[in-house]
Amino acid sequence: MNGKKGILIVVSGFSGAGKGTIMERLLKDYPDTYALSISATTREPRPGETHGKEYFFVTEEEFQAMVRDNALLEYAQYVSHYYGTPKGYVLQQLEAGKDVILEIEIQGALKVKEAYQDALLLFVTPPSAAELKKRLSGRGTETQEVVESRLSRAWQEAQGVECYDYLVVNDDLEECVGNVHAIIQGEHARVARNHALIEKIRAELKGFAKGE
């Protein structure tokens, strides 16, 4: 640990683009580097999903109480359900130096960028719309009707891609995970994220200058 705060990372992309798959791999490959925020949602768990792992599954009343208590970093409605990011865990992990990933949709992403200007926004896309449809249907977790509504929502979301910092194409999974890791780690080297170190080196150098 070098005392540096982590980077707040927002990952968005069409439903079925592979965000969950990419995040799972990142956390497995770099468990000490990344922390994944677990959202609260009012939607029903899919088969195999458990409370506290993929999501905190809550009632609409419980969700509204979190909103009232200012316990969410952001929240949004997506295809008739609410989704939100619990604030406490994210802030605590950033403070501990972890890069914290929020896998959220675009309305939430924009709210995060407004509140945290140094957040890094990544947008994940498959190489084509046909591949998106194939992955979304192939996942087999939604009815045909839900698949259609998510594809229709994807078209709307595609209009917002320019709000993001980086586009990540998820064609070959290995390559994609490597690219995401490289983008995030590259961000750490930005001058704007290293003021404290720069000031420290300047102060040290000033000592040399006096001695001349």
Does 39 participate in binding ligand ADP (rule CB under 6 A)? no
Nearer to ligand ADP, 8 or 17 (CB): 17
Does 6 participate in binding ligand ADP (rule CB under 6 A)? no
Q: Which of 6, 18, 84, 126 binds ligand 5GP (CB under 6 A)?
A: 84
Which string of x and - marks every residue 23-52 that binds ligand 5GP (by CB under 6 A)?
----------------x---x---------
CB of 134 to ligand ADP, least distance (A): 8
Of 166, 199, 3, nearest to 94 (Cα)? 3
Distance (Å, whole) CA 105 – CA 96 = 25
Does 108 participate in binding ligand 5GP (rule CB under 6 A)? yes
Of 33, 75, 35, nearest to 58 (Cα)? 75
Contact stretch for ligand 5GP (CB under 6 A) within 22-30, 74-82, 120-128, 165-173 = 74-82
Does 104 participate in binding ligand 5GP (rule CB under 6 A)? yes
Nearer to ligand ADP, 149 or 194 (CB): 149
Of 116, 121, 58, nearest to 91 (Cα)? 116
Beta strands in 27-97 (DSSP E): 34-36, 39-41, 55-57, 72-78, 81-86
Distance (Å, whole) CA 108 – CA 103 = 10
Q: Encode 24-47: b = buried (16+ Cβ within 10 Å), e = exposed.
A: ebbeeeeeeebbbbbbbbbeeeee
Site of interaction with ligand ADP (CB under 6 A): 13, 15-21, 135, 138-139, 170, 173
